[in-house]
Structure 1
Amino acid sequence: MKKIEAIDVIALISDLEKMLISLLEGLSDTDWTRQTIAPKWNVKDVAVHLLDGNLRTLSMLRDNYFGENPSNINTYQDLIDYLNTLNADWVKATKRLSPRVIIDLLKSSGKEYCDFLATLNPDDKAEFSVAWAGENESKNWFHIAREYTEKWHHQQQIRLAVGQEQVLLEEKWYYPYLDTSVRALPYHYRNVEGKAGDLIKFTFVGEREKSWFLIYNDGWELITSIDQKPSCEVKIRDEYAWKLFTKGITKDEAINVSEIIGNIRLGEGIFDLVAVMA
């Protein structure tokens, strides 16, 4: 049995930023207005949301400037509502920015953002925990990996809208996204009843198959390999998994294009998993 390990995506984030700039520079005026899988956002809206992520990280974590202090944040849903309001306000305010200005701002802030992340000690406590994984305290390596998933899936939303999504489904880019997202599984399955030895295998199917496992022993634990027959296996194709984890596809839609082998009760829990703050 092999347990999960820390994830190192610092170099990948920098490369992902460069890929984003190259993508945006090649878009037509029509492309910038295309609707994305995010219901309220077109391509330009997603691009400025990525810019906001750069600027907020630099302001809060590098410069220790938090601006607005949220009030009445008592529940996870309160936090989601607050973040959704911040996001909507920013997207509305940046309607006046041109694509060229957005690209220039992404270039400059993206470099500073990546340079800052590289200064963080991976094993130090992160300023913000990875709440969707159920953590009240996280290490920087997990915070940075979470940042990677944000950068990855928003760029993928743009790519899907303009018909260039296949590149980010290549293992180099997609595997770290999945490896980070599935860290939410033990927390997500916390109320799913199991018995000692129950094993769920989650397989993501693309050019190659990638699998993770949940094993039950007084609670669910995520592992990367085990020599044991699973009680259940869930197979989800790569092109649907990221949409499922980011609310880009409904539970029923995802189940209809996936396969559950064995104990259906154990397997269907993954189809409610959300690995974003939404």
Structure 2
Amino acid sequence: MKKPQKIDVIALLPELDKMLFKLLEGLSDDDWDKQTIVPKWKVKDIAVHLLDGNYRTLSMLRDNYYGEKPEAINSYADLLDFLNKLNADWVKATKRLSPKVIIDLLKSSGKEYCDFLAILNPDDKAEFSVAWAGESESKNWFHIAREYTEKWHHQQQIRLAVGEEKELLKEKWHLPYLDTSVRALPHHYRDVKGEAEDLVKFTFLGKTEKSWFLYYEKGWELLTSISAEPKSEVRIRNEYAWKIFTKGMTREEAIKSSEIIGDKRLGEKIFDMIAVMA
């Protein structure tokens, strides 16, 4: 059996940004106002949310300036409420910005953002843990990979709205997204009862197939390979995986569009997994 390795996406982040800039520069006025898969956000709203991510990272992690600090955060739900309010306030305040201003700001802040992440020691403790993976403390490499998934899925939301979603499903971009997101599986399955040596296989179907495994031995452990027969296999098409992990489709829609072979109880649990702060 083989365990997951560190994820290194530092070189991909500037390239991902350049793809975003090119996409946004080609949008019409009507495209900027198109509804996205996020109920309350249009294309422009997601673009400014990405801008907020750049500025917030630079302010807090580079400049040690936290601005509005949360009060009375006693649970994961409290943290989500605080973050959702920050996001809503920012989107409302930036309504007055033009698309050109937004693109220019994304370009300048994006370079600073990528330059800053590149100087972090990947094995040092991250300022913020990856909470959706159940970690109270994370390494910088995981924090940076989490940042990649944020930029990836928000750009994909824009692409879906304007009919350009296929580009980010190419393996170069999609596999790092999947490899990061599935790190939430052991935490997500923590309350699922298993028996010794139970094995659940998760296969994502794109141009090629990519699989990860959950193995039970006093708890669930994520593996990238194992020579054993799975008790349950879940087969998910690439174009649906990111929607499942970001609340972009209902559990019922996800199950209907996928295939479970073997134990359905073990397999179906993945369909309510969230790999974002949402």
TM-score calculated relative to the size of structure 1: 1.00
Tell me the residue number matched to 1:28: 28
Q: CA deviation at 1:106?
A: 0.2
CA offsets per residue over residues 203-236 of structure 1, 9 Å max, x none?
Answer: 0011111100000000000000011110000001
Amino acid at match of 1:261: I
Tell me the residue number matched to 2:16: 16
Partner Cα distance (2:111, 2:4) in 1: 30
Partner Cα distance (2:194, 2:217) in 1: 8
Number of corresponding residues = 278
CA offsets per residue over residues 178-215 of structure 1, 9 Å max, x none?
Answer: 00000000000000000111000000011111100000
Q: CA deviation at 1:76?
A: 0.1
Tell me the residue number matched to 1:213: 213
Identical amino acids, percent of aligned pairs: 77
Partner Cα distance (1:85, 1:23) in 2: 28
Tell me the residue number matched to 1:63: 63
Partner Cα distance (2:29, 2:252) in 1: 35
Describe how 1:63-142 pairs up with structure 2 within 5 A: 63-142=63-142
CA offsets per residue over residues 65-89 of structure 1, 9 Å max, x none?
Answer: 0001110110000000000000000
Tell me the residue number matched to 2:188: 188
Calculate the aligned-residue CA RMSD, in Å: 0.4
CA offsets per residue over residues 85-126 of structure 1, 9 Å max, x none?
Answer: 000000000000000000000000000000000000000000
Unaligned 5+ runs, structure 2: none
SS class of match (2:91)? helix
Partner Cα distance (1:210, 1:167) in 2: 18
SS class of match (2:74)? coil
Partner Cα distance (1:137, 1:48) in 2: 29
- Which segments of structure 1 move beyond 4 Å, counting only runs of 4 or more? none
SS class of match (1:156)? helix
Q: CA deviation at 1:170?
A: 0.4
SS class of match (1:118)? helix
Partner Cα distance (1:265, 1:228) in 2: 19
CA offsets per residue over residues 134-183 of structure 1, 9 Å max, x none?
Answer: 00000000000000000000000000000000000000000000000000
SS class of match (1:9)? coil
Amino acid at match of 2:132: W
Tell me the residue number matched to 1:257: 257
Q: Is structure 2 residue 257 aligned with structure 1 residue 269? A: no
Q: Is structure 2 residue 245 aligned with structure 1 residue 245? A: yes
